[in-house]
Amino acid sequence: MTVSLADSYDLCHRIARRTAKNFYFSFLGLPKPRFQAMCALYTYMRISDDIGDDETLPLEQRRADMTRWEDIVRRSLAGEDVSSDDGPVAWAQRVAALKAISDMVRSFQIPQHYLFDVLKGVGMDLDAGTSDEQQLTCRFETFEQLEQYCYHVAGVVGLCCIHIWGIRDQRALPRAIDCGLAFQLTNILRDVGEDAEVGRVYLPAEDLRRFDYSPGQMRQRVRNQNFRDLMDFEAGRAKACYARAEELFDFLEPVGHPILAAMMDIYGGLLRAIEQRQFDVYSGHVSLPKWRKLCIAGRALLQQHKILRLPARQR
């Protein structure tokens, strides 16, 4: 069945509103075309992640599905109508979203290889598989290897975002990667216990050795001084990334400032909450209360309203 562009964007909006959580609140201050584009971008990331994370399917099936998704995305970006693509009913929503996703790429001149870099990141998770309790090991030996992974799952998302928000200076590109790295490191620190339980340890092996803390202790949720020192060290890295990402404000169109500020407030707030709990991420999931997210979104809306009231030459 053929899906209209409006219906495709409406689908992406519903998916983002239902599942985006932190991201969706930060979208709200954007003008409508950019808001729609962010919903489409989020939907692309959500679909790609869900294909890789669907543990109800065997690993080989997920790899085959990822290959299928990459092929359909490539065809859609080339201008082919994929709305009638044959396949299981489960694929209908994914295919329906592609019209908006492809329109987003064209409208905001997003380099197509960014979308495929995201799929490489999902593939890195699939290739890693999972570990059992006896063989639990770190995914990465060095921080440089972790950085490469973070680029594919978060840095490239930042690059897509700034094309939607508006780039004034090409120096925005490395700072967007820093921003994505800061957000991903925050997520990794928040989720160390949950990830270890499913066989994933993202912190570098060299860092665990430095602080004499093992992957097995992570799975057992041992929160000793060594763990706190390890987490404090990694939090310092994240904060350095946040500091570099602040330069993005100088390189973006003003219309992008409120959403960047909102996202920095949300993810920076998560990192501060982790620190305030003295890195007790094992006893409960760290998150910001909904009222605080709404306050951040409200501030972004007010800032955006002020920007849009300015004469065009001042924006």
Dist. CA 49–CA 37, nearest whole Å: 18
- Quick: pLDDT tens for 126-138: 887 554 444 688 9
- Quick: pLDDT tens for 249-287: 999 999 899 989 988 999 999 999 999 999 999 999 898
pLDDT at 189 over 60: yes
- Quick: pLDDT tens for 216-225: 999 999 999 9
- Quick: pLDDT tens for 226-250: 999 999 999 999 999 999 999 999 9
Q: Which residue has the tokens 């594919």?
A: 152
Tokens of 270: 């998560």
Residues in the chain: 315
- Quick: pLDDT tens for 146-160: 999 999 999 999 999
Query: Within the chain, which residue ranges are assigned CATH 1.10.600.10?
Result: 130-315
Report which DSSP code applies to 252. Answer: B
- Quick: pLDDT tens for 95-110: 999 999 999 999 999 9
Q: Answer whether 193's CB lies under 8 Å from 281's CB.
A: yes
Dist. CA 15–CA 283, nearest whole Å: 30
CATH match for 130-315 among 3.40.50.300, 1.10.3720.10, 2.60.120.330, 1.10.600.10: 1.10.600.10
